[in-house]
Structure 1
Amino acid sequence: MAAGCLALAASSIALAQQATKFPVISLNAGMYVIRAEVAARDAERQQGLMFREKMGANEGMVFLFEAPAGVCMWMKNTLIPLSVAFIDENGQIVNIEDMQPQTLDSHCARKPVRYALEMNQGWFKSKNIKPGMRIEGLPR
């Protein structure tokens, strides 16, 4: 009986930690279309891509901040390697950083930004998308 209760408790915890899906929008980075989940509220930004085991080739998550701010990201409970583009209020990429899974290292914007866009690690580099370029379709 105790083993059954432990198994039930473990499955309940696993269910609570399953990846939460957020509303999806389309963004454009040059000729590339990104299917981006939107994390606009504080709780959504805190959850981010935690507990995800994979992400599609042109999928990502855009973090929307109320106003331009000094923003840092980390990878607590994030299982996949990601690259993050920090983006100003005009949609221009400020800097791009690679992040390793399950670390608490801070990766910060070089100036105040309104958005952060996380993609599979290496996505920006493989598409030749660099700081100074624009991301179109960002939510306001």
Structure 2
Amino acid sequence: MLYVVLSLLAWTAAAAAQERVPLTVETAAGVRHEFQVEIAATEAERNRGLMYRQELAPDHGMLFVFARPTRVTMWMKNTPLPLDMLFIGNDGRIVDLHERAVPYSLDTIAAGRRARYVLEVNGGTVERLGLAVGDRVTGAGVGG
């Protein structure tokens, strides 16, 4: 049990220290929303995602990067925060959204279209900022 607790603490500390890069979501109306995101580009990083995170700043998130557009599926295993997921195509356009994913759920969350990236942000962000399918994401190697 002590090993699990220590591992979890080390994992949380490493996540908190992970570098963040700027990312912008621009709505169809031209309103730009700036985020600082961690990149999950390896299989291990994508598998870990935002698991065990107890908080996430309103302008922070995690960008999951895949080698090519694919039928992406996500889940909320070991994730205590409700999250919004923006599924992003190769061209940087949002192709699908999933709002307020249920914490700890093992249900599969699948994009309706192929996506190359998934941006996870705090639950309620999509509604709060008025984000929609077709909005453009740039930065962190997306939509460039």
Give the TM-score, by structure 2 length.
Answer: 0.86
Partners of 2:42 and 2:70 lie apart in 1 by: 15
Identity %: 34
Corresponding residue for residue 74 of structure 1:
75
Residue 15 (structure 2) pairs with residue 24 (structure 1): no
Give the TM-score, by structure 1 length.
Answer: 0.88
Corresponding residue for residue 105 of structure 1:
107
Corresponding residue for residue 51 of structure 1:
52
Alignment size in residue pairs: 131
Corresponding residue for residue 3 of structure 1:
none
Instruction: State the Cα RMSD in Å.
Output: 1.3
Corresponding residue for residue 132 of structure 1:
134
Unaligned residue ranges in structure 2 (runs of 5+):
27-31
Please say which structure displays the higher CA radius of gyration: 1
Unaligned residue ranges in structure 1 (runs of 5+):
1-8
Secondary structure of the residue aligned to 2:68 is strand
- Superposed displacement of residue 49, structure 1: 0.2
- Superposed displacement of residue 138, structure 1: 3.5
Amino acid paired to 2:50: L
> What CA deviation, in whole Å up to 9, does each residue of 1:36-80 have, x standing for no partner?
000000000000000000100110000000111110110000011
Moved over 4 A (4+): none
1:2-17 alignment to 2 at 5 Å? 9-10=1-2, 12-17=3-8
